[in-house]
Amino acid sequence: MTPRPSPQTNSPAPRSPSDLPILNRLGPLRRFAEIGIAGYPRETRIRLAIINVMALLIAFTSLTYVATYASFGAMKYWPLIAANLVLVAIALLAPLAHRINDVAAMILIWVAEYAALFFFVRELGHNSGIQLNYIIGAAVAFAICGIGHIRLVVAAVLSGLALHLAAWFLYPPGSARIAADPALLHNLYISSAVTTFGIVALVVGYALNKADRARAEADRLLANILPEPVIDRLKSNPAERIADAVPDASVLFSDLVGFTALSKELGAARTVEILDGLVTEFDRLATEHGVEKIKTIGDGYMAVAGVSRAQEDHCQRLARLALALPKVVASLSEAHDVELRIRIGIARGPVMAGVIGADKFSYDVWGETVNYAARLESHSLPGEIQVSAAVCDALGDRFLLTERGPVSIKGVGTRETWFLIEEAGPAPEATA
């Protein structure tokens, strides 16, 4: 149960577009839907807005019943007319209960509705079918309150069931206090049945739609962590341990030269702004070239190709990505008026890949090829893309490379390396 926020947050919402899309679609009902919801967390505000709209619908429905009863004889049905007018008042005032907490209005509406329904059945008998509306109360409880207020939901369901059964057994046709017109009873039963089936169908549809949206959001978030082929494998077999030995893949590492020292001068806000712009653009390029981003480490960036899915041209894909990265860095450097330079290293060979961790799991890649790519980056020169002999052979005549010569690489030894300069011809369209 969420208590009412402090008074200073209780001002009416501005008439500008709401951050709750549901309110923007309500048109003239929006003002009523916003009563009392300001200051609550976003999800709670959505629920309270739905309660407000529900209260308005109850008021409108009650007024239609007032008109119906009046048409059959206001003097004869005055107790029912009075009860419906009381319901109208309670429904219209219910949003003010949000000042107490986030469930007060819902409880007020349920108590008033349940009591009124029981009173109506007592006056007209169970042949009116009015007791069917208790089913609506149970369905709406699940839709609006959900698991977050499960005790309230259970109370609404059980009390609705008890009152429904009590109304049926206590008020058979002969016990009705008002000798209602048969036509009115027929109308009430049809109205109650149609409303009950319609609202239950809407609630089920709403729940299914909400589940689909939650599943889509979960898939979207998962896609930011794991490659799509890995997600598909886990969906088909959640118990599967993802651990792959890949005989041939390409690995890229990049790093901003001297950025750690520069970040001290820039401060937190500008540092994050620059890194966010950098990584966002790197991610876009990785997707464009069909390359899999593995992770960022500070201002470093790691990507692979040919790991989660077979790609004959995995080396060429990473090469094209590598050639695009310095352009991004140059653009950001100019935009932020800072000197940014990047080093890049690419290696090719066997790797191991898998999903590790439980709460904050990740997809990672290991092996000598990974270590070699990291060393090629750290032993490269600012603005250069240093590649291994295997990468040079794979790129062939499609790319222009210059030999750097033998380089002593820590943990690896002396190796022949090359600098990647540019692509010799137009790049073919990348496919996943």
Domain containing residue 287: CATH number: 3.30.70.1230
**Cα–Cα distance measured from residue 349 to residue 391, given in angstroms and rounded to the nearest whole number:** 9
288 burial level (CB within 10 Å; 0-12, 13-18, 19+): middle
Output the CA torsion 21→27→30→33 (10° steps).
Answer: -90
8-state DSSP, 384: -
Specify if 13 maps to a domain. yes
**Cα–Cα distance measured from residue 18 to residue 309, given in angstroms and rounded to the nearest whole number:** 43
Question: pLDDT-derived band of residue 82, with 50, 70 and 90 as boundaries?
Answer: very high
| Domain end call among 222, 251, 277 | 222
Task: Looking at the structure, tell me whether residues 215 and 257 fall in a common domain.
Answer: no
DSSP-based three-state secondary structure for 267? helix
Contact between residue 109 and residue 144 where contact means Cβ atoms under 8 Å apart: no
218-242 residue pLDDT tens: 888 888 888 888 888 888 888 888 8
Range of the domain at 402: 239-423
Residue-level pLDDT at 25: 67
DSSP-based three-state secondary structure for 74? coil
**Cα–Cα distance measured from residue 111 to residue 58, given in angstroms and rounded to the nearest whole number:** 13
Rounded mean pLDDT of 267-295?
Answer: 93
Question: pLDDT-derived band of residue 428, with 50, 70 and 90 as boundaries?
Answer: low
Rounded mean pLDDT of 267-290?
Answer: 93
**Cα–Cα distance measured from residue 21 to residue 388, given in angstroms and rounded to the nearest whole number:** 52
Contact between residue 378 and residue 418 where contact means Cβ atoms under 8 Å apart: no
Specify if 340 maps to a domain. yes
Specify if 168 maps to a domain. yes
| Domain end call among 189, 222, 255 | 222
Output the CA torsion 14→146→224→301 (10° steps).
Answer: 70
244-273 residue pLDDT tens: 999 999 999 999 998 888 888 888 999 999
**Cα–Cα distance measured from residue 184 to residue 169, given in angstroms and rounded to the nearest whole number:** 21
Task: Looking at the structure, tell me whether residues 143 and 194 fall in a common domain.
Answer: yes
**Cα–Cα distance measured from residue 188 to residue 173, given in angstroms and rounded to the nearest whole number:** 14
Residue-level pLDDT at 215: 86
- Please give the structure tokens belonging to residue 77: 């049905």
Long-range pairs of 15-21 with CB within 8 A, sequence gap ≥ 24: 20/45, 20/46, 20/49
380-396 residue pLDDT tens: 999 999 999 999 999 98
**Considering the chain, what is the average pLDDT of its residues?**
89
Query: For 9-23, 77-91, 323-337, which range has the lowest pLDDT when averaged over its residues?
Result: 9-23
Rounded mean pLDDT of 65-75?
Answer: 95
Q: How many domains does the chain have?
A: 2
Query: In Å, how far are 229, 245, 247, 351, 382 from 242, measured between CA atoms?
Result: 11, 10, 16, 14, 36
Specify if 228 maps to a domain. no
6: pLDDT strictly greater than 60: no
Percent of the chain scoring above 90 in pLDDT: 62
Task: Looking at the structure, tell me whether residues 263 and 201 fall in a common domain.
Answer: no
Contact between residue 318 and residue 252 where contact means Cβ atoms under 8 Å apart: yes
Specify if 278 maps to a domain. yes
Residue-level pLDDT at 12: 46
Specify if 292 maps to a domain. yes
**pTM flag (> 0.85):** no
Rounded mean pLDDT of 144-159?
Answer: 89
**Cα–Cα distance measured from residue 246 to residue 66, given in angstroms and rounded to the nearest whole number:** 74
Specify if 279 maps to a domain. yes
Residue-level pLDDT at 7: 43
**Cα–Cα distance measured from residue 140 to residue 166, given in angstroms and rounded to the nearest whole number:** 21
Question: pLDDT-derived band of residue 8, with 50, 70 and 90 as boundaries?
Answer: very low
Query: For 9-13, 65-69, 143-147, which range has the lowest pLDDT when averaged over its residues?
Result: 9-13
Contacts (Cβ under 8 Å, ≥6 apart) of 118: 163, 166, 167
Task: Looking at the structure, tell me whether residues 321 and 361 fall in a common domain.
Answer: yes
Residue-level pLDDT at 396: 86
| Domain end call among 222, 253, 278 | 222
9: pLDDT strictly greater than 50: no
Each residue of 163-191: b (16+ CB within 10 Å) or e? bbeebeeebeeeebebebeeebbeebbeb
Pairing of strands 342-356, 385-387: parallel
Q: Which of the two residues, 11 and 4, has the higher pLDDT score? A: 4
Handedness of CA 151, 153, 156, 160 (dihedral sign): negative
Q: Which of the two residues, 322 and 229, has the higher pLDDT score? A: 322
Task: Looking at the structure, tell me whether residues 41 and 140 fall in a common domain.
Answer: yes
62 burial level (CB within 10 Å; 0-12, 13-18, 19+): buried
Specify if 419 maps to a domain. yes
